[in-house]
Amino acid sequence: MPPRHPLSKTGPLPKIWLISDARNDAALEQALKRLPRGSGLIFRHYHLDPVSRQARFKALGRLARLYGHRVILSGSVAQARRWGADGAYGADLAQGPALLRLVTVHSLRELRRAHRADAVLLSPVFPTRSHPGGKVLGPLRWKGMAALSPVPVIALGGMSARRARQLQASHWAGIDAFCGKANRRFSKDS
Ranges in the chain, pLDDT < 50? 1-9, 182-190
Please tell me the total count of domains within the chain: 1
Which pLDDT tens digit goes with each residue over 108-117?
999 998 888 9
Is 115 inside a domain boundary? no
Is 36 inside a domain boundary? yes
Locate all alpha helices (DSSP H) within 49-125, ordered by sequence: 50-66, 77-83, 108-113
CA distance 149 to 106: 12
Range of the domain at 43: 16-101+157-189
125 within 8 A of 158, measured Cβ to Cβ: yes
For 169, the 3-state DSSP assignment is: coil
Is 56 inside a domain boundary? yes
Helix or strand (DSSP H, E) at 142: helix 138-148
Q: What is the CATH number of the domain that holds 30?
A: 3.20.20.70
- What's the pTM value of the predicted model, to 2 decimals? 0.88
